[in-house]
Every structure is written in structure tokens, then in C-alpha cells.
Amino acid sequence: MSADVAHDLKAKTQVRTRSLRARVLLALGPATALGGVVWAILQPWRLTLLHPHGQGLYWLLAEPPLYVVLVGIGFRLLLAPGIVADLEEAE
């Protein structure tokens, strides 16, 4: 094994550390989703999926805690990586 190959291997396996701001930004989405789950647990009467008798499709889809969970997941998967990339580029 030549030294060049070993040096390239070490460069590829280096761990990239993120700043505190980037880690907090990436944690906002999961924290929001967790908040939606806690909300659903604390107020189960808001979830008409648990008792759909007499409810139309709109009421089954319009679940505020579910919206909060979806927004948290969407933020983490769609928005946060781009914002963190811009933040790291600026630093």
C-alpha cells in the first residue's frame, strides 16, 4: 500500500463536525414533530381518526397534530439541509 492511497483513505474517513447553529437548525424539525406527537397524546379527543363516526373526509384529514408532525418532517427533510449548507458555506 503506498502512502498516497493511505492518505486519500484517511481524508475520506474524516468526520465532519457541524457548528452548534447547524445542529440546532437540524434539530428543529424533529423537535416540532415530537411536539405534534405529544400534542396528540395529551389531547386525544382532537384526533377524529380515533372516533370517526359521523365525520366526513375533511374532518379525518384535518388533524392539527398531524399537520404539526408533517411540517416538522418536511422541514427536516426538505428545508434544513439547504439552510445548513448555506450556513456552512458562509462560515
Instruction: Classify residue 29: in a domain, yes or no.
Output: yes
Q: What is the number of structural domains in the chain? A: 1
90 vs 27, which has greater pLDDT?
A: 27
Write out the three cell numbers for 6: 493511505
- Answer yes or no: is 31 within a domain: yes
Tell me the pTM. 0.71
Write the DSSP assignment of 1-55 as a string of letters. Answer: --HHHHHHHHHHTPPPP--HHHHHHHHHHHHHHHHHHHHHHH-GGG-TTSS-TT-
pLDDT in tens, 36-91: 999 988 988 777 666 667 777 777 777 888 899 999 999 999 999 999 999 988 87
**58 domain residue, yes or no:** yes
Assigned domain for 11 exists = no
Q: Is residue 13 part of a domain?
A: no
Q: Does residue 6 lie within any of the structural domains?
A: no
Q: Residue 71 is part of which domain span?
A: 18-90
Residue 55 belongs to a domain: yes
pLDDT digits (tens, 9 = 90+) for 8-21: 666 666 667 888 99
Residue 35 lies in a domain: yes
